[in-house]
């Protein structure tokens, strides 16, 4: 089973960062 904690710590911040920088 994949480590969902890793997903939360990496993927979600990455998405949020992209949303902020792209505008």
Tens-of-pLDDT digits for all 23 residues of the chain?
Answer: 567 888 899 999 999 999 998 76
CA distance 10 to 23: 20
C-alpha distance from residue 8 to each of 18, 23 (Å): 15, 22
Single out the residue of 1, 3, 22 nearest to residue 14, CA to CA: 22
């Amino acid at each position: 089973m994949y480590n969902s904690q890793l997903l939360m710590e990496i993927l979600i911040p990455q998405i949020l960062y992209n949303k902020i920088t792209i505008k």
